[in-house]
Amino acid sequence: MEECKRVFHENVIPEVPDLAIYIPNFITQEEEDEIVKHVNNAPLPKWTQLSHRRLQNWGGIPHPKGMIAEEIPGWLQKYINQVSACNIFEREKLPNHVLINEYLPGQGIMAHSDGPLFHPIVTTISCGSHTLLDFYKRVSSTEQHQPDLQFSFLLEPKSLFILQGDLYHNYLHSIAERGTDVVAKSLIKNLDICGEKFSEGQTLKRGIRLSLTIRHVPKTSKLKLKIG
């Protein structure tokens, strides 16, 4: 536990609202390969196809009336346990849901917040490719202009990103729809704690990225489904 606290202290991202944490190489290459294999071997009905990406829900489908809980398979529970072991979540609010997004090069997601369906701590493991996660200050409904880009984080394969606090409640986050990203040190705030070293102006080509978003859904149904 003390080791986790030390790692978290060393990996708090500077120059941004409190409690954003980035840990490179949170999982091993073998674990990344294991995740990719299991995700790709999931039966086709497990996928939900959207216009700009496809996804899998594990643990249930979050809903305002309550998520009907489903058993999470052991291969995925392993990574929930690894995240939980670092004491990010309170004991009564341990993760019970994993959203897996698949992004092909050129795909992304519009600016959004995760909202009240979830406990306001989000942990994301990235596999397969890097991405840039962009953050925008939330604007009020009376403001007419589009929010301005405030800063970005470079999420490397095998990394863990933790979003909470002010960053959860008062900012929107997005992934731009493009096939490459250009390193800009003035904008990307976690470069100094990345696992690799990147140079100003370096072009990074995106590959296929899987993101495992691990979080707690507070409102669940008492009915629990066992899959398989």
Q: Which residue has the tokens 């301005």?
A: 148
- Is the pLDDT at 141 greater than 70? The verdict is no
Q: What is the mean pLDDT of the chain?
A: 90
- Chain centroid to Cα 11, Å, comes to 16
Spatial separation of the C-alpha atoms in residues 203 and 39, rounded to whole Å = 28
> CA 187, 32, 195, 2 torsion: positive or negative?
positive
Write the pLDDT tens digit of every residue in 185-217.
999 999 999 999 999 999 999 999 999 999 999
Q: Check residue 2 and give its pLDDT.
A: 47
- Give DSSP secondary structure letters for 33-88: HHHHHHHHTS-GGGEEE-SS-EEEEES----TT-EEEEPPPHHHHHHHHHHHTTT-
Write the pLDDT tens digit of every residue in 149-161.
999 999 999 999 9
How does residue 223 score in pLDDT terms, banded at 50, 70 and 90? Answer: low
Write the pLDDT tens digit of every residue in 59-76.
999 988 889 999 999 999
